[in-house]
Amino acid sequence: MKILLTGSSGQVGRCLVEKLNNTIGTEFIALNRNELDITDSISVDKIVTSFQPNVIINAAAHTAVDRAEEEVELSYAINRDGPENLAKAAARIGATILHISTDYVFAGDKDGEYVENDETVPQSVYGKSKLAGEIAVAEACHRHIIIRTAWVFSEHGGNFVKSMLRLAESRDALSIVADQFGGPTYAGDIADALLQISAAIVKEKNVEFGIYHYSGMPHVSWYDFANTIFIEAKEQDVLKKVMAINPITTAVYPTPAKRPVNSKLNSGKINIQFGIVPSNWPLALKNLKHYMG
C-alpha cells in the first residue's frame, strides 16, 4: 500500500503519521502545507505522478471557522480548489482519494441524527467551502471516499479539550454552551478509520465509494463534554479541582460564524460497509496528561 498524506501537521494528519510509522507493508509520504501547497495544481501533479500512490488521504483544510468569514478566498482555495487538484491527480493515475469533511455542511436544525443523503444547507463560509470541496472531489474522481466528522480533538494542535484544560489552570469558572449537540471525535480514531478503509480499497474489496459519516458516541452538548473533561482531569490528577462550569445558550455567546445546533452524525453506513464503530471519545480522555502543554 502506498499512501500520500496531505495536511500532515494537523490533528488527524499527525495521528496518521504516528500510525503509518508502525504499519508494516505500507510506504507513505506525509506532507504539511509548507511541503505541498495543495492549491498549486502543478505541485500536486508532480508529487502524485512521481510517487504513484494507491491512496491519497487529504487531511489538509482551512478550519479556522470564524476567520473564514473574512478569509473567504483562502477558505475556498484550501477547502475546494486543493481537494479538487488532489482528486484530479488521483483520477489520472487510478488512485482513490479519501477526503475529510465536516458536520458544518448541514444547517443543524434537524431533529435526530444526520445521515449521508440529508439535505446540505451550510450556514457559514467554512461550511460552504467544505461542501464545495465535497462536490469538487466527487466530480473529479469516481474513486472517492468523503468522511464527514465533527468536534475533532486530540493531543495535538488546538482543540476543545486542550482549551478547556488550559483555561482551567487560570480561571475559577467557565461558561459553556449547552444547546449545541454533537459527537466528540478523537483524531486517532479517525486515523484508524481512514487506514482501515485504505486497506479495504487496496485489497480490492467491494467498496462503495461516496460519502460516509464518522463521529463519536454518545452524543452530548459542549457543556456535557466539558464536564466530562474536568471530571476526568480531576480523577487523573491533571487538575487539582473539578472546574466550575455554567451552562449558557448560543445566544449568550455569539460568534462570527454560525454553528450548527445539531451536529449529530449517524455512523451506521460506515459500520455496515467497513465494520468501523463510532469514536469512543470517553476512552480517549483517559490519558489527559498527554493533552497538557
Q: Is residue 205's pLDDT more than 80?
A: no
Whether 16 contacts 59, CB under 8 Å: yes
Q: Is residue 273's pLDDT more than 80?
A: yes
Q: Average pLDDT for residues 199-205, to the nearest whole number? A: 88
Q: What is the pLDDT of residue 236?
A: 95
What cell does 48 get?
Answer: 502524485
Q: How confident is the model at residue 227 (pLDDT cuts 50, 70, 90)?
A: very high
Q: What is the pLDDT of residue 255?
A: 94
Q: What is the pLDDT of residue 24?
A: 86
pTM for this predicted structure: 0.96
Residue 8 makes CB contacts below 8 A (sequence gap 6+) with 14, 16, 17, 30, 31, 32, 35, 59
Q: What is the pLDDT of residue 72?
A: 97
Backbone Cα Rg of the chain:
19
Cα separation, 80 vs 130, in Å, equals 6
Q: What is the pLDDT of residue 100?
A: 98
Q: Is residue 130's pLDDT more than 90?
A: yes
Q: Is residue 196's pLDDT more than 80?
A: yes
Spell out the domain ranges in the chain.
Answer: 2-159+184-219+264-281
Cα separation, 71 vs 69, in Å, equals 6
Cell numbers 487506514 label which residue? 195
The amino acid that residue 164 corresponds to is M
Closest-CA residue to 150 (of 195, 190, 204, 93):
190
> What does pLDDT average to over the chain?
96
Q: Average pLDDT for residues 196-204, to the nearest whole number? A: 92
Cα separation, 175 vs 177, in Å, equals 7
Q: Average pLDDT for residues 2-23, to the nearest whole number? A: 96
Q: What is the pLDDT of residue 114?
A: 98
Least confident of 75-84, 115-124, 241-250: 241-250
CATH architecture of 2-159+184-219+264-281: 3-Layer(aba) Sandwich (3.40)
What cell does 26 get?
Answer: 505500507
Instruction: Please give the positions annotated as active site.
Output: 126
Cα separation, 85 vs 43, in Å, equals 10
State percent of the chain over pLDDT 90: 93
Helix residue ranges, H only, the chain: 11-20, 41-51, 72-76, 82-93, 125-140, 160-168, 187-202, 222-235, 268-274, 281-284
**Residue-wise burial string across 199-212, b where 16 or more C-beta atoms lie within 10 A, e elsewhere:** bbbbeeeebeeebb
Q: Average pLDDT for residues 45-67, to the nearest whole number? A: 96
What cell does 66 get?
Answer: 470564524
Q: How confident is the model at residue 243 (pLDDT cuts 50, 70, 90)?
A: confident
- The dihedral built from the CA positions of residue 214, 267, 155 and 222, taken in this order, carries a sign that is positive
